[in-house]
């Protein structure tokens, strides 16, 4: 039976990077795409999310078309202005993708609880635990250093730690303490595929070494 592997973690814990790496290494994994009302970033091409406006999101929500929804308050372009961004995975999206294979997705703690309530043991939570100072550096490097971004960076990280992901230990199935995406990716591979993957990779490396030694002889 196919499962949902949910990546959880605060801002700049490397969730998007790890997800991309896993999907490249394992094309059999199925990516679930979330709807969002936030603006598209300059580095995005439109395939990362279903970008919709607030009116369409509200219409879908009222029709009960989402498994879960989440809201983020961010600093706007004008001083003192706050913007609200909405995210949500639709029921049709999740059920359709589950038919195709194991799903790899990103969700916050509240969303994971809602997924867990519906999909039970088919939903596996993996929390990425990354040092706060490293997350701050990543945030500033990603969004470029401006006064607005510094303030938003500190606010979002503190909100994640103190509110959004408070009590995550009681809910998730795995916690990975990490400082780089390569290490995280390998740990998640082991969670999804078990020891078989590592035995297979070791066997390939061993055979490759023996072949090179024979050529030298």
Whether the CB-CB separation of 125 and 6 falls below 8 Å is answered with yes
CB 165 within 8 A of CB 109: yes
What's the rounded Cα separation, in Å, for the pair 66 and 102? 19
Residue 195 pLDDT: 55
Q: Which pair of structure tokens corresponds to residue 64?
A: 């009960």
C-alpha 24/C-alpha 27 separation (Å) is 6
Place of tokens 């009222």: 62
Q: In this structure, are residues 103 and 5 in contact, taking their beta carbons and an 8 Å threshold?
A: yes
Q: Would you say 128 and 7 are in contact if contact means Cβ atoms under 8 Å apart?
A: yes
Model confidence at 41, in pLDDT bands (50, 70, 90)? Answer: confident
The C-alpha atoms of residue 18 and residue 211 are separated, in whole angstroms, by 33
Tokens of 177: 């303490």
CA distances from 212 to 66, 141, 199, 207 (A): 54, 42, 20, 9
pLDDT single digits (tens) 120-151: 999 999 999 988 888 877 777 766 555 566 77
For 180-214, the pLDDT digits (tens) are 899 999 999 999 998 555 555 544 544 454 445 54
Give the domains, in start order, of the chain with CATH numbers: 4-216 (3.40.50.300)
């Amino acid at each position: 039976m196919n499962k949902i592997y949910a990546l959880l973690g605060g801002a700049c814990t490397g969730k998007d990077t790890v997800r991309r790496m896993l999907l490249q290494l394992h094309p059999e994994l199925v990516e679930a795409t979330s709807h969002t009302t936030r603006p598209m970033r300059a580095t995005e091409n439109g395939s990362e999310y279903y970008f919709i406006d607030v009116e369409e999101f509200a219409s879908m929500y009222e029709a009960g078309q989402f498994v879960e929804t989440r809201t983020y308050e961010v600093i706007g372009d004008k001083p003192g202005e706050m913007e609200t961004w909405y995210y949500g995975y639709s029921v049709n999206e999740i059920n359709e993708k589950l038919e195709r294979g194991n799903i790899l997705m990103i969700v916050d703690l509240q969303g994971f609880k809602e997924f867990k309530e519906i999909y039970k043991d088919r939903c596996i939570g993996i929390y990425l635990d990354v040092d706060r100072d490293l997350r701050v550096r990543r945030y500033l490097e990603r969004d470029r250093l401006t006064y607005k971004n510094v303030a938003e960076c500190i606010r979002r990280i503190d909100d994640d730690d103190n509110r959004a992901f408070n009590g995550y230990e009681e809910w998730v199935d795995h916690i990975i303490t990490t400082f780089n995406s390569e290490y995280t990716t390998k740990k998640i591979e082991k969670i999804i595929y078990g020891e078989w993957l590592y035995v297979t990779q070791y066997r390939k490396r061993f055979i490759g070494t023996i072949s090179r030694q024979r050529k030298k002889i």
